[in-house]
Amino acid sequence: MKKVLITGGAGYIGSMLSTELVKLGFFVTVVDLLKYNKNALSHLYFFKNFKFIYGDARDKKILKKLIEQNEFIIPLAGLVGAPLCKKFKKDAISTNYGAIKSILELVSKKHKIIYMTTNSGYGIGEKNKFCDENSPLKPISLYGKTKCDAEDLFKNYKNSICFRLATVFGCSFRMRSDLLVNNFVFRSVKDKKLEIFEPHFRRNFIHIRDVVSGIIYALKNFKKLKSNIFNLGLSSANISKIMLANKIKKQNKKIKIKVIKSRKDPDKRDYFVSNKKIEKKGFKAKISLENGIKELLIYFKNNPDKIINNY
């Protein structure tokens, strides 16, 4: 039975990943402070191949012991997103960068790390060009910077795989409504309208279940993928904000879309991303934006007041 340690395993991605790994028979240990949802993992407490530890991913004492006991380490603990990192700068640096540095100081050659970074690092891409893994990293937020700095630490640790994640969407045991697709769908339900500024800004997206599938693929094909950085996104979901809004309107017909020209988007990211490198290695994201929008519409129509942000 493969032993997997997940820091931040009760989070948006972590709670879905932990659940799937327990189902598949991995022995999963999660370290989390349960800051956002106390019950995100309560459905797993029953299982013998699941262990929960209430603790901080920056605590070297906790980490040291747990790293020794596990073969795979998936560090997901972090302050995610530009607004949250801007609000808690010290915590952002000590968790997003410091906790990763600690892990790399504690591991030995037998350990295998799968690290989720972000394609936020691309910042503003060139107009008619896709960002690939060789494109320059020009993060424009503290969040992007801490993730890029942490990714940089893996250059000297060959037993690792880094995934630069596209913007994630879809439902989770620890839900978030501040992510772009989730947020647009939430607002379309709550306000019956979508107000968009800088509609031409481009982004790549991926469903949370495809992220989980990608990590499981990496666990099962570690040798084939190790010592590498991969973009992880849905190739057909390289679209602009206005294109996304129109996709939502197709399924939620009553909404009005209004483009506000006088307002600037504080999030200046604007890029399309190539996922060819991971696709050539045998993994391809499959869940469409349309399916994710359908799922989110049902979720928010039944929880119309549920704003679940990180900040």
Q: What angle do CA 56, 168, 237 make, to 5 degrees?
A: 160
pTM for the full predicted model = 0.96
pLDDT of 92 > 60? The answer is yes
In terms of Cβ atoms closer than 10 Å to its own Cβ (0-12, 13-18, 19+), residue 136 is exposed
pLDDT tens digits, residue range 230-248? 999 999 999 999 999 999 9
Other beta carbons within 10 angstroms of residue 165's beta carbon come to 23
Q: Which domains does the chain have, with CATH numbers?
A: 3-170+204-233+273-286 (3.40.50.720)
Given CA atoms 209, 213, 215, 216 in this order, what sign does their dihedral have?
positive
pLDDT tens digits, residue range 254-304? 999 999 988 877 777 889 999 999 999 999 999 999 999 999 999 999 986
